[in-house]
Every structure is written in C-alpha cells, then in structure tokens.
Chains A and B, each alone.
Chain A
C-alpha cells in the first residue's frame, strides 16, 4: 500500500480537479469534429449549399464489449448510402465517464446509444440534439407512432423536449421452475403478488437454505413495479416524486413481507442464475437476459422452466427499460446521423438486430414479426412490453431517488429499522425530486 499511498496522497483533490481542468479547457477547444471534417469526401463541401447529400463518416457509440455485431447490422446501410460508420463499443461501467469527458471536451460521437436510466442525465448536459417532429419530418421510420407507446416520443421527452428515439427494449417478467412448483403442489405460476407471496412461503418450507424467490438488493425497479401493481405510482400528477401513497405502503408491506416470511435470501452476493438453476430460488422477477444466462448455464433444464407476465393486483405493469439513440448536438453530420437512425428504426433492421444480438425491438411492427414471436419466451416478453412503463425520468434515478428507495427498504429488511420511520425518511429524502 505504501507505494500507492504517495501518489495517492493528492488524489482526492486531483480527481475532481482534473475534470474541472478539462472543463476550463473546453471553452477554447477547437470546434468538434474538425478532424472528421477533413476526411469528408469532396461532395460534402457542396452539402452546405444543397442539403441533399448527407455525408459521414459517423462515429457511433454502442453499449457493450464488442462492436462486431453492430458493424454487421449497419453494413447494408454503409453500402447503400456510402456513409462510413465507425462503431465504438463502450462498456456500461465507463459510459458515465466517457460522456462526461465528451461533454467537457466538446468532442463526442455523432450517434450514441443511451440507456434509459442515463437519458435524463445526458439530456441535462445539453449534449443531445433536440429531435422534435419538425426535425424528424423527413424520416418516416422515426415517427413516434411506430414505436412502443411507453418509450415513443413524449414518453421519453426530457423537460418537454424529445432528444432521442427508441432503439431496443427490455422488460421484466416472472421466471418460474415448473418442475419445482408442481412438486410443491403449485399447479400454476402465481397470477397475483399475494399468490406469489403465499407460494414463496410454501417453496421456502422445502428445507434449510431453500427459498421461494429472490429480491436483488440493487433492483430499484422492483418496488416501483409492486407500487404500480397496487394501482399507484411513485410520481404524482404534477410529476413530483411521491412515496406518500397507500399503493406504495402496500408495496412496502409486500416487499418486507417476503423477507419476514423467510421466502427470500438476505445475502447480497446471491447469484440469481445459480439460484434459479439449482432450484434454491424457483421464482424470479427478471429480464430476458436471465433467460439467456439460464440457457447458457444449464441447457438440460429446458422444459423445466418458463416465463409469464408479472403478477397483478389491480395492474400488471412491468418496467420498460432498454436503450434509445441520440444525436450529439455538436455533430457536424446530423443529416447522416438521422439517416442512420431512420435505417435502424426500420422494422426489418430491428428484426435483424433481434436475430444478431437478441435485443427486443421497440418498433411495434417488428415486435409482431413472426421471426420474433416464433420463440414462446419472446411472445411473453412482447405481451409484457405492451403493458410496461419506464421509470420516471428524474435527474438522477440510480444515485438519488432509486438509491433512497432501496436504502429505505433494505434498512427495514436487513437491519430491522422501523417501517414507518424508513418511509418517512424516504419521503423527506426525495422531496423536491421531479421529472420536470
């Protein structure tokens, strides 16, 4: 430790200061994309006078570890339009820093994939190009009516301004082990949360170290979905975060009740794939990525598990997550960027991407495509997507509202804090948070 200590001695001040320095330098920075501009084909010089021929090359930031599949997806676009596309894969862990640096230096991509949980933060920096109806008028595939209602147009507007178009969708469904449920005398997967709680209790009674379900301690959407199930919401009509509702209290009772029953493990390092495959936790609320993980970890389990839509109380609304695409406001290739977005929003492209990467489409027509619905699991996802909603676009869901929500609930279930006091703390901690 000693070797690191010397150079780290000045680190805490340094971390923040280095960013601040970057910010100071941005004022005098050269116009973004100047290097790109030099590479433009000669036709682009005339593009300023006649805006007909958009030109690249476009730099696209996609989330993940590899850009190979995206390159494959856009290959027809490149050959049809002659617009070069340079794809850069950005790992999820580093997107915040990448965007912060890009905002500070002014040198960003032309198009970027934006996880919905990051949309508000990125939009607040002013780095995204407004994409109102007038801007999209020439691109029929980008019309809001084409997309899932939960993410289309105004649904993902920030401060009344649309700055992104939908790209891929993600949702939550109930995974269950049909073999274990029927062994325990449960013929059908639970249709309501009360049934789920009762079934989980039965399943947890199978023995020591056995559980009915699992609640990830980092999963802030879960209690929100429970609130939706009881007919409530966590924002009021004016868009202010509001946890002081009967529906939220019912959700808290359900959440803490699952712990009180001993139906869910209390350790934060519980592995849900392993828990599901081994049967320790035979009912899970999770996303399509879990299906891929299960097929990967235990192909022989096929036929012994399935998925169904979320349990209901008054509602069965699930989380709508996924990613949108945005255009960098300072991009010098905005027409080409919109042309690429238009291509990516064609139903055929969305179906191809589902085949390449398994991501669910956001375009309604693509979700009805036989190539997509052929998989029975995907049919369930598509049904759930029709009844799904995004998390409120508050300024910092992960770091503030969502964290305060999880802290309140987990303090009750892990340290035995008083439920009413925890809710009161949550209400005061999130007062003033708003989607506006």
Chain B
C-alpha cells in the first residue's frame, strides 16, 4: 500500500457509512418531497407523480404544521435550558464526594436514561392520571382540586416536557460529571489557598473549564429537542387537539398514519434545514471561544 492512500483507507469505512445512512436518505427524502407518493405509489411506482414544490406550499399553509412548529419551539425553549441547568446542578452535587453513597446516587440519576420509554410512559401516565393519579392524590391532600395534566390543552406541553427533562438529565449529568472530574486539582487548590469561596471557585474556575462539555450538551440537547417525539407519542399521541404535537410527531402522523410520504418528506426536509441552521449558529458561536 502506498503511504499516500493510507488516510483514505482509514476514513473510507466511516465515509461510506455516513454517505449510505446519512447523506443518501436526505437526498432521497428531498427527491420524494417533490412527488405525491402515497401508499398506492409504494406498490406501483407508475402511480407516483411529480408535483414540484406543491408539498412545500401546502406545508406552509397548513395550520397543523405551524402549530407543531410552535409546540416544538416551546419544547426547545423550556426543555434545553432546563436539561442543561438541572443536569449541571446534579453533576456539581454528585461531584462533592466519591463515597459509595454518591456512587449509588450516580446510578440512581442515570436510571431514567436507560429505562424503556414505554415503561416510562405507563408509569407517568398513571402518575398524571386525572382520577387516580398519585400527583393529583397528593395535591388533594393539600386541598388542590384535580389537575388535568395530560388533558388540558394549556398544561399538556409542560407535563410532557417535564417527563422528557427528567429522562434527559441522567446521561447529561454523567457527561458533566466526567468533565468536572477532569478539572485539575491544582487549580482548585490554588483557589483555596487564595481564599476563594466554594461558590466563587465553581463560578470562576470550574464552569469555564467545563465549557466544552456545556457546549456539547447544549448542541446535542437542542438537536434532540428539535426532534422531540417519544414522550409526546407515548403519553398523548399529540393530543388534545394537537396541542402537544411536535414537528417530528406531525411528520410521523402524516407519513405513516396518513401514508402521505411526499408531504411528510417535505416536512422532514424543512426540519432538517432548521436543525442544520440552528446547529451551525451554535458552532459558529463556539468558534469565537477562547481556548484555555
């Protein structure tokens, strides 16, 4: 093997995987989005016709699409800061000690991340239940009437997002914890010698040093919440009246329940563009960052 070819051979397998499962599906979706493909078209390709940009025009005029977009914006606005702040707080607390008790706690906080979503949906569905739910039972003890956690169009997004926040903190806490444990002891000792308080040390030394972890978690969390799907799908199926439908759930309903593959593809291309744009902006912001 000539040494010149070596780098290409090394990146080859990864590139092929990326092209096959990353780039090709996007191109196919972009192609399908210009057609009226439905269930009948799947069986008989001659029944698929090109419709130009009609799917995109219909999408922009579809109130359900805009409702899903607004809902997704709400999920991102509520979910991303909550997940980042809560998991960072948990990681800081878990980092106080490495005793056996704290190691057990660490596993405890990780549990939601590895529990099946269907089991989570069942348990939270019962917790939230208007009539027999534990949460409403506890509220009734202090004289608060039944709250319709998953039935009230105004409240349902918050209830669904809470479950996702609870589920999303575990893994991110572990990422933050790893970053926190990578902070050199010398800096902390130096700060302690200078008489800095614990709060001051955290704010001025620890947090700047785990900036990259915060950046990473923020970017991945934003992407995950832009694709918000699981919790809304299993808890409410997007209801009531579409008030908890995220954009991914909307695409799923159009594509699989409605068999409108062309229309759903158009929506998925829009979602892809939104995610790519948001991520680019975030990475650009990171570029201006100072290296320590």
Q: Are these two chains actual partners, yes or no? A: yes
Binding site for B on A (CB under 8 A): 1-6, 8-24, 26-27, 96-97, 99-100, 103-104, 106, 121, 124-127, 209, 217-218, 265-271, 274-275, 280, 396, 398-400, 407, 410-411, 414-415
Q: Could you say which of B45, B83, B217 contacts A23, with CB atoms under 8 Å apart?
A: B45
Q: What are 17 residue pairs bridging A and B, where the CB atoms are less than 8 Å apart in the complex?
A: A1-B167, A1-B168, A2-B171, A2-B216, A10-B272, A14-B21, A16-B264, A17-B32, A20-B265, A23-B45, A26-B42, A26-B43, A96-B257, A103-B43, A267-B146, A274-B131, A396-B259
Query: Total interface residues on B, using CB and 8 Å?
Result: 71
Question: Which residues B47-93 have CB closer than 8 A to chain A?
Answer: 83
Give the residue among B37, B43, B150 with the most A Cβ atoms within 10 A: B43
Number of A-B contacts (CB under 8 A): 188
Determine the main DSSP class of B at the interface with A: helix
Give the residue among B21, B26, B29, B267 with the most A Cβ atoms within 10 A: B29
Report A182 CB to chain B, min CB distance, Å.
Answer: 25
Question: Could you tell me if B43 and A217 are in contact, using CB atoms closer than 8 angstroms?
Answer: no
Question: Could you tell me if A12 and B42 are in contact, using CB atoms closer than 8 angstroms?
Answer: no
Question: Could you tell me if A23 and B241 are in contact, using CB atoms closer than 8 angstroms?
Answer: no
Q: A20-B265, A103-B42 known; A1 and B21 CB under 8 Å?
A: no
Contacts of B242 in A (CB 8 A): 407
> 8 tightest A-B contacts by CB?
A17-B25, A5-B224, A1-B168, A267-B130, A17-B28, A12-B268, A267-B151, A103-B43
Question: Could you tell me if B42 and A19 are in contact, using CB atoms closer than 8 angstroms?
Answer: yes
Contacts of B256 in A (CB 8 A): 96-97, 100
How long is the Cα–Cα vector from A8 to B164 in the complex, in angstroms?
A: 15
Binding site for A on B (CB under 8 A): 21-22, 24-32, 37-45, 83, 113, 125, 128-132, 146, 148, 150-151, 153, 164, 167-168, 171-172, 175, 216-217, 220-221, 223-225, 227, 236, 239-242, 247-248, 251-253, 255-259, 261, 264-265, 267-269, 271-272, 275
Q: A100-B39, A125-B43 known; A266 and B148 CB under 8 Å?
A: yes
Report B156 CB to chain A, min CB distance, Å.
Answer: 9
Report A157 CB to chain B, min CB distance, Å.
Answer: 17
Q: Which residue of B lies closest to A2 (CB)?
A: B220
Determine the main DSSP class of A at the interface with B: helix
Q: A12-B268, A17-B25, A26-B42 known; A5 and B220 CB under 8 Å?
A: yes
